Amino acid sequence: MRLHHMALAILVVAIWGFNFVVIKIGLKEIPPILLCALRFFLAAFPAVFLIKRPAASWRMVVGFGLVMFSLQFALLFSGMYAGTTAGLASLLLQVQVFFTVLLAVLFLAEKPSIWQIVGALVSFSGIGLVAANIGGEISNYGLILIIAAAASWGVGSLISKKLGKVDMLALVVWGSLVAWPPLLVLSFFLEQNSWSVETISHISWLTIGAIGYMVYPVTLLGFAVWSWLLSHYPAATVAPFTLLVPVFGFTASTLALGEPLSQWKINAATLVIMGLCINLFGSRIAIRIRAA
């Protein structure tokens, strides 16, 4: 990967890592599914009038918008709203790497290596450590929802890979257009007691800023760049950069929200990231050792 493309990848994961703090801020005044709907409505308009639909089948665009945006973020926001700290959410979501690998095995006939299997076992032992500490910083419900969000990201990554080299900014904008209507309908039925037009009209400037951050740097810039990188490089080259998301997430949540960085969280993060490193780099390291 070229150096400036590596810099782009690091910029995106830094933006995504800090976004977990921003989501927590937004959830203080707006219920989770409605917050998702507002995010993608603003990502779609007015950009959809200025950017042509990507050169891909409408079916694939709809699939991308519903899975990568509607489903993933409804689950993630709801999991954080249900009782998961920003730092832990940023960590748990990274198991999307293993869902991506599993789906590639099932649908692209790829064969998992022994290193990918070992890496998955190590990472999921970290998830088990998180589950063993269910309580004030994470709930059972929150854990399940965020793992489901990670699975949705894996499916979305597969769709993005299938789309190939298309205009990724256009894909994000039109995917956002697809994403917000079902989210708004779902919010109407599930969150009726939590929102109203009056509530939205009186949100604070801090919440407005949080929504703006989610719309522009995170959605329009972040997903466009990430999808572009996936279309130009193998998934195994791009995916490792997500290892940095929980690093930025834990750092930002500790500094901005004062979340405690207890030893069990450090241990869980170490196991998850170690497993991801084994999954992504284990075979290469083994080959170099044998060669040496």
- Going from N- to C-terminal start, the domains of the chain cover 3-291
d(CA 181, CA 6): 35
Region 12-40: mean pLDDT is 93
> Looking at residue 175, what is its pLDDT?
94
Region 272-277: mean pLDDT is 81
pTM, whole model, 2 decimals? 0.84
d(CA 21, CA 33): 17
> Looking at residue 236, what is its pLDDT?
64
Distances (CA, A) of 12 to 16, 145, 227, 268: 6, 24, 11, 24
> pLDDT band at 258, cuts 50/70/90?
confident
Q: What is the mean pLDDT of the chain?
A: 85
Chain segment 122-169, per-residue pLDDT in tens: 877 887 887 777 666 678 888 899 999 999 988 988 888 788 778 888
Q: Give 84's strand partners.
A: 138
- Lowest average pLDDT, out of 140-154, 178-192, 232-246, goes to 232-246
Q: Cβ neighbours of residue 99 under 8 Å, at least 6 residues apart?
A: 150, 151, 153, 154, 155
Asked whether 22 and 214 are in contact (CB, 8 A), the reply is yes
Q: What percent of the chain has pLDDT over 90?
A: 36
Q: Which tokens belong to 268?
A: 């869980």
Res. 194: pLDDT tops 90: no
Res. 287: pLDDT tops 70: yes
d(CA 252, CA 83): 18
Res. 203: pLDDT tops 90: no
> Looking at residue 136, what is its pLDDT?
64
Chain segment 215-234, per-residue pLDDT in tens: 999 988 887 888 788 778 77
Chain segment 77-96, per-residue pLDDT in tens: 999 998 888 888 888 888 88
Region 272-288: mean pLDDT is 78
How many residues does this entry show for the chain? 292
> Looking at residue 81, what is its pLDDT?
93
Region 171-194: mean pLDDT is 91
d(CA 276, CA 278): 5
